[in-house]
Amino acid sequence: MNEQTETEFTIDSALVETSPGTEEWKNDVRFSISKGTITRIEYGLPLDQTSKSIEGTAIPAMVNSHSHAFQRGFAGMSEYRTESQDSFWTWRELMYKFVSDLTPEDVYIIARQLYLEMVEAGYSWVGEFHYLHNNPSGSAYANATEMADSVLRAAEDAGIGITLLPVLYQRSGFQTNQINRGQRRFALSLDEYFDLVNNCQKNITGNPNASVGIAFHSLRAVSFEAIKETLQYRQNHLLNSSLHIHAAEQQLEVDDCIASTGKRPIQYLLNSFQIDESWCLIHATHMNPEEIEGLANSGAVAGICPTTEANLGDGFFPASRFLKHGGRISIGSDSHCSVNLREELRWLEYGQRLISGQRAVLGTPHLSTGRRLYSECAFSGGQAIGIKTGRLAVGYRADLLILSPDHPTISNVSKDRILDRFIFLNTGSPIQQRMLGGEWIEETELTEQLHCSRIAFNQLNQKFFEGS
Ligand SMILES: [Zn+2]
């Protein structure tokens, strides 16, 4: 993207920050943007003839805080029963089989397709939880960042921002230091991991649309000592970077954690480490009331992936209680059974309705459900990936979506109803334009890119799934 771009435009209405922490809908809004960042927001002005004028409503683009890009190649291909009781764990075996032969070029093709779909859906930035490091035999590629480079290149070509989160993965369970055969492409020693992070950091130098963070696959896959050493490495080399971990996705891993440590996973994390705003706990699904309160008070973000958590039978994140304690939440598409932010947000709320037998569970008397969910996940998504995005405010990246006032999904409704309909009316998308990092994404160019990407992606489908 062109860092030199300076632009201005005026739009009918926008959801903008009017004072720290407060967003309001304003009419006749003029945005000034320099080097990808919002430098001025004015509203209530007479129509400005000098800058570009847009009919529509501007909202922040959404952050996708959790992705395993390669899984897009396999999404929807495990919807059959393999055992008397299929589960996350049987799905994981199928995923291991799919991953066994993937080349760096395959990963690039899958990731580019996925990231273009994310841009089309309205995502601006992705947190890529990247654990596919090694070659098929389980040793490092000659260039250890080969796989990481594939996803970085795919993000750049698709025009989406990326926080690359190289993942430390060391063992197959709490009671062992070994990995199983299906995990050999994921495992690294601590030194290999630090080298990988360091080299990824070098490879993104000067790229305003990429950052690097730290990720632990899960408590079952990484020891206490390894987490401690990695946090020390971060302190010395990557201060303020994001920290992500799969926290408590499955009841079985909660049980294993208790058996091994005497504590539940989130209780263990809160007691053992300084969990703060830098952390994002993915799938904090299984929490007791003390853990909910503790995690909310820590300031960490809970990264929720509603469609994947449904697809894998994980359980419901206790969103209502967590938000009541002031917790921060973001969304992710994780296994990419859905690349649709509207569906993620809708199912985040629907899960709570199904549990409670109530409606508008995550709304408040002052904020409608759609408005609250959208604002919270966009803003805290930015916190989760360590980037100032997800809010239309001075100093934030100019990542925004323009919704068409004529689209039947949102036409003739006001203010928060726009976001309620955007999320809860499952009809066509009213997104008419996208600006990412201060640059307009041309609709025709996006369509053309998707067309080209699909050709390569379809050939991959043929390679992996013909006849299945
Ligand atoms: Zn995940």
Ion ligand 1 neighbours (CB, 5 A) are 334
Which residues fall within 8 angstroms of residue 353, CB to CB, at 6 or more apart? 359, 361
Active-site residue, from 133, 217, 283, 286: 283
Structure tokens at 334: 């994780």
Please list the pLDDT of the chain residue by residue as tens digits (468 residues).
444 568 999 999 999 999 999 999 999 999 999 999 999 999 987 766 677 899 999 999 999 999 999 999 988 877 877 776 777 777 788 888 888 889 999 999 999 999 999 999 999 999 999 999 999 999 999 999 999 999 999 999 999 999 999 999 999 999 998 998 889 999 999 999 999 999 999 999 999 999 999 999 999 999 999 999 999 999 999 999 999 999 998 899 999 999 999 999 999 999 999 999 999 999 999 999 999 999 999 999 999 999 999 998 999 999 999 999 999 999 999 999 999 999 999 999 999 999 999 999 999 999 999 999 999 999 999 999 999 999 999 999 999 999 999 999 999 898 889 999 999 999 999 999 999 999 999 999 999 999 999 999 999 988 888 766
Ligand 1 center from residue 332 Cα (angstroms):
9
Ligand 1 center from residue 246 Cα (angstroms):
6
CATH code assigned to 62-385: 3.20.20.140
283 is catalytic: yes
| Separation of first and last alpha carbons in the chain | 40
Q: How far apart are CA 283 and CA 63, in angstroms?
A: 16
Residues 49-52: contacts with CB within 8 Å, 24+ apart?
Answer: 50/8, 51/8, 51/9, 51/10, 52/7, 52/8, 52/9, 52/10
Structure tokens at 309: 């958590």
Active-site residue, from 149, 334, 399, 420: 334
pLDDT for 183-242, tens place per residue? 999 999 999 999 999 999 999 999 999 999 999 999 999 999 999 999 999 999 999 999
Ligand 1 center from residue 108 Cα (angstroms):
19
Rg (CA), the chain: 22
Ligand 1 center from residue 341 Cα (angstroms):
16
HSE-CB at 369 with a 13 A cutoff on CA atoms is 22
Q: Name the residue type at position 245.
A: I
Q: Name the residue type at position 208.
A: P
CATH homologous superfamily for 6-60+394-437?
Urease, subunit C, domain 1 (2.30.40.10)
Sketch the domain layout of the chain as residue ranges.
6-60+394-437, 62-385
Matching fold, domains 6-60+394-437 and 62-385: no
Q: Look at residue 49 in the predicted model and tell me its pLDDT.
A: 67
Ligand 1 center from residue 171 Cα (angstroms):
17
Instruction: Kindly report the pTM of this predicted structure.
Output: 0.96
- DSSP code per residue over 416-440: HHHHHHHHHS-SS--EEEEEETTEE
pLDDT for 135-164, tens place per residue? 999 999 999 999 999 999 999 999 999 999
Q: How far apart are CA 169 and CA 183, in angstroms?
A: 9
Q: Name the residue type at position 335.
A: S
Q: Name the residue type at position 439.
A: E
Residue identified by tokens 């959801």 is 15
Ligand 1 center from residue 455 Cα (angstroms):
27
